[in-house]
Amino acid sequence: MPQDIPLEASETLAFTPDVLAHIDGAPSFTLRAPTTREKRFRRRIMSEEGVTFHSEEDLRQEVLDALRTVLWGEEKFATHSQPLKDYWEALDDYRAQKKTNQDLKWSYDEPTERALLKLLRDVEQSWSPLGRMKADNIDFNEIFMAATVAVVVADWSGLSCAKETDRGYLTIDCVDALANSMTKVAERKDVLGKLAWLQLFNACANRMSLDGEEEKNSASPLPSGMTPPASNPRKASAKAGKSPASARSSKTPASA
């Protein structure tokens, strides 16, 4: 297991979020050069926190099941479900083409799209299983972000929160405190604090060199019109209770 020992300078990266770089005493973070050990431990954190991810295909199928079995019935579903399926297919085609043509603009029949988006909002509001799936994905995203920061950030300066580690890495609770402290510093300087947190996460994710499968599973795609709010520092409790990754097993003051 990893140890709390100094890393070689060549193995670390000093990082300050761009939005904070101009302020006096800006927080500075020391980022590890992650190995398979850090990726493995991030997976362990995700498992211990008990979070669940639902793919876009899963969410769309839940919408169709709700329409068929609860809201419309079989006969009405057979008549009215095709426009929704056509819309999803067009959206998928657009996303695929957008990857190779960044100038491509989304275009769809506006009255049809408005009606379909309203339908999706209505399903989400009236069908609780879909709401729970959406909440699962929001929790997953927040824990994924926190776990990535936990295994990559080795140390920091310029923030008042204490450094708490478990098995050589930051705890999830410590990452939450780190995010909140950084947000408060930013807001005192009239800077968007959430952006500073996202920049730190992105720097850590880049250090992890995510492959395509990990990138896909770190997102929470939802049917169009049911986009989750931007991730904030985690607030939701883990489903499986306090995991060892969240425990306050050791405390040392962070550098001032």
Sorted by where each begins, the domain ranges of the chain are 1-256
pTM here? Answer: 0.73
Using CA of residue 112, residue 114, residue 115, residue 121, what is the dihedral sign? positive
pLDDT in tens, 55-65: 999 999 999 99
Confidence of residue 43 (pLDDT cuts 50, 70, 90): very high
pLDDT in tens, 81-118: 999 999 999 999 999 999 999 999 999 999 999 999 99
Q: What is the pLDDT of residue 154?
A: 96
pLDDT in tens, 221-231: 333 334 333 33
Question: What single letter denotes the amino acid at residue 15?
Answer: F
DSSP structural state of residue 234: -
Name the percent of the chain lying above pLDDT 70. Answer: 78
Q: How far is CA 103 from CA 89, 93, 99, in A?
A: 20, 15, 10
